[in-house]
Structure 1
Amino acid sequence: MVEAQAKSSDWRISVAVAAVPALASILAAVVAALSARKAKKSEIDAQRLRDLEARISEKKYEVYKPMINLFRDILDQRSMPEEDLRSRISEFSAWVSIFGSDEAVRAFHNFMQAAYTGNPPAVVLMKLYSDFVLSARRDMGYPDTAVDARCLLGMRISDLYTSGQMVDVNASLAELCRATGWTPPWEPVPAT
């Protein structure tokens, strides 16, 4: 009888030892299935995010293109009716405030406020223009751009490096304002 009990106990031990790897395999399969499901969901979410970014980028292009073209026309000294100019600026202002980055909205605001005063020095206006174009560039897909104001202005100004009158447009706006004696309208007027 003792021998029968020992055989019965051996059998149970053998079954228990054999069950451990089987249970481990089942557990591993369940964990793998859950991980695969989570990875697939992450992949779907990432694709959805890429699609959304592409749609937003396309919309930003639609928003910025008319204003960049308007600036090009102004810099090329193409004449246009004042009403057309105001209409295009007004439409852009409405859309950039929705789709533009904070940097782009701030840069456009600064440019327009300087233009409204009617008397900013040319170098300040060029700086504000290049700040706006750079912020639009970052906003539309080149957030780490290494292009600077000189690169942008050098495409438009033939004597940028040879005139000798050009102040460093890569200087900060505050430095340019100090150098030219111009106070931006969005800053408080210094006490005299």
Structure 2
Amino acid sequence: MLARRRLPGAAAGAFCLAALALVPGSVTAQSLMNHNSNAPVDYAADRIELQDRANRVLLSGNVDITQAGLRLQAARMTVAYRNAGSIEIERIDANGGVVVTKGEERASGNVGIYDFNKRIITLIGNVALRQGGNTLNGGRMVIDLTTGRSTVDGRSAGGAPGQTGSAGGRVSGTFSVPKRD
């Protein structure tokens, strides 16, 4: 059974994809700017390992993190923190079937990175974004939590030239169209 715990620190993370308006290669996420990144972060995992000297926590096995209506799931996550009198989360690296959800929106990828200092969330490898009937696929998605702007490209970050995501190096998707009489 998964035990639910709370990650310490006021800077605990925002993995938000709410209110996405899809535009080819670009995503506007209005509510990203309004997500309470100071809300407590709760976590559950099959196993936790505290590496105090390295200032990190390793979570493995059905890892589930929630914060203010946002949910991040993956097989493994590493939480890097600094201890400045209190624990402050600096970065979370997630891998193994990464899924980020808020409300009806769902984004997934092979790897997820949240950089608290830059306020950026990045999904890498076989990125898929679903909002209602709209879909968006690519190799990498970068979400800027300061501006609420997200970009998607076909090539996975850090890959060699020619290495692509699931869309053959291009961004692809489907827009739903309202029913007309």
Q: Same fold (TM over 0.5)?
A: no
Please give the TM-score of this superposition, normalised by the length of structure 1.
0.23
Please give the TM-score of this superposition, normalised by the length of structure 2.
0.23
Query: In terms of Rg, which structure is larger?
Result: 1
Bigger share in helix: 1
Bigger share in strand: 2
